[in-house]
Amino acid sequence: MPTDLIASSAKKASLGVLETAASVAAASREVRIDRRVLDGFSRELARVPRAKPAWDPRYHYYDGTRKTVMYFLVLDSLNFCFWPAQGTDRWEMDYRGERLSGYFGLAAALKRAAEEGPPILEPAFLASLTRSDLKAILGGQGLLQLAAERLDILRETGRVLLEDFGGDAGRLLKAAAGSAVGLVRQVTAAFPSFRDTAEYDGQQVYFYKRAQILAADLYGAFGGRSWGAFRDLDRLTAFADYKLPQVLRHLGIFEYSERLARKVDRLELLEPGGPEEVEIRANTIRAVEMIRQELAASGQAVRAFEIDWLLWNLGQDDAFRRKPYHRTRTIYY
What residues act catalytically? 241
Q: Which residues contact 148 (CB under 8 A, 6 or more apart)?
A: none
3 state SS of 143: strand
- 283: nearest Cα among 12, 23, 106: 23
Spatial separation of the C-alpha atoms in residues 225 and 70, rounded to whole Å: 16
Phi, psi torsion values for 150, nearest 5 degrees:
-65, -40
CA 186 to chain centre: 16
Name all contacts of 95-103 with Cβ < 8 Å and 24+ positions apart.
Answer: 95/59, 100/59, 101/142, 103/79
Give CA separation, 106 vs 13, 103, 111, 138, in Å.
32, 5, 8, 7
